[in-house]
């Protein structure tokens, strides 16, 4: 991460829009199960960042486009790095649900 990355924060709203326009993409919420149940972006699946090593059982194709979010963007950044290190080729951190302006599913 360079100094200019601090000014280039991920925007979950444009990230979800990109997800919706991407064929066979996965929207991945890496918050805890409890946080996910309290409210999440519709269409997302939950895999706690602390269990990110289980990703191959959830997303088998490592070419699948994956859009990752959490609450603020910090855990999704960690998860994105871990997924890339595991060989996932199309992973994008889209930030935090705290900035989401769309519908919340419970």
Active site residues: 70
Determine the 3-state secondary structure of 2 from DSSP: coil
**Which residue shows structure tokens 């979800």?**
16
DSSP string, 20-40: HTSTT-EEEE-S-HHHHHH-B
């Amino acid at each position: 991460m360079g100094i200019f990355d601090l000014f280039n924060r991920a925007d979950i709203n444009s990230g979800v829009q990109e997800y919706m326009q991407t064929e066979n993409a996965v929207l991945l919420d890496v918050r805890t199960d409890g946080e996910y149940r309290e409210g999440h972006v519709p269409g997302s699946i939950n895999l706690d960042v602390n269990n990110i090593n289980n990703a191959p059982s959830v997303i088998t194709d490592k070419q699948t486009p994956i859009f990752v979010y959490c609450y603020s963007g910090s855990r999704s950044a960690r998860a994105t790095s871990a997924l890339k290190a595991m060989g996932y080729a199309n992973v994008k951190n889209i930030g935090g649900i705290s900035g989401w302006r769309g519908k919340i599913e419970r």
